[in-house]
Amino acid sequence: MLKLFLSLLLFSASALADTAPDAVVKQMVDDVLSPIRQDRSITKDPARLDAIVDASVFPHLDLERLSRLTVGKDYWKQATPDDREKLVGEYHMFLLHAFSDVISQYTDQTILYLPFRMKPDAKEVMVKTVVMDPRDESTELDYRLEKAGGSWLIYDVDIDNMSMIRIYHSNFGDALTEGGVNRLIGMLHEKNLKVEASRK
C-alpha cells in the first residue's frame, strides 16, 4: 500500500484548461514535491503536509467519480444524494491523511515521464510514468485522466498494472456488504477520527 499512496501523492494541482494531460501531471508532481525538497521539516508537521496535499491534489482529482467507481454502480445508485455527499467528504479526509503520511517519508525519488500521445478529440487519456527509487524497485504509474469542464482531472491510477479503484473496492468490500454506503461512511469516519486524535 505504501507504493499506492506514494503514487497518489504524485498528482498535485494547478492544471489549466488548455494544458496537455502530461504537462498537467508534471506540474502537479512539482506542486507537491517542491515544498518538501526545499524544506524537509515539513515532513514532520502533519498540519502543513495536509495543507500542501489538500491544495495541490484534490482540486484536480475527480473525487466524486473516484468514489462512485470505488463503491460500484449498484451501491452508488442505492445511496441518497446526502449519503453520496457524506461519502465523498469522508473519502476526501481518508485519502488526505494517507497521502500526508506517505509524503512524510519522501526522500529522493525521481519521476520518469514516458512518451505521451493523444488524439485531438480525446476525452480520456493515460499518462505513463515510472517512479525511480535508488533504494527500491521502480514503480510503474499509469494516470487516467478525463476532460471535464475544460480541464483534465485524474480519476484513477494503475500502480504496476493494479487499479487504485479496484484496490480500494476490495478493501472496502466487507463494509459495503455489511451495510452499503452508510456502513462505509461510518468506517471511514471512525478511521478519520482516530488519525486526527493521534496527531494531537
Q: Which domain holds residue 26?
A: 2-198
Q: How far apart are CA 141 and CA 22, in angstroms?
A: 13
Q: Which amino acid is at 95?
A: L
The answer to whether 179 and 168 have CB atoms below 8 angstroms apart is no
DSSP, collapsed to helix, strand or coil, labels residue 12 as coil
In this prediction, residue 199 carries a pLDDT of: 82
Per-residue pLDDT of the chain (200 residues; tens, 9 = 90+): 555 555 555 544 433 456 899 998 898 888 999 999 999 999 999 999 999 999 998 988 999 999 999 999 999 999 999 999 999 999 999 999 988 887 888 888 899 999 999 998 999 999 999 989 888 889 999 999 999 888 999 999 899 999 989 999 999 999 999 999 999 999 999 999 999 998 87
CATH number at residue 29: 3.10.450.710
Domain count, the chain: 1
Q: How far apart are CA 23 and CA 116, in angstroms?
A: 10
Q: Who's near 197: CB < 8 A, 6+ residues apart?
A: none
The answer to whether 13 and 60 have CB atoms below 8 angstroms apart is yes
Q: Which amino acid is at 119?
A: K
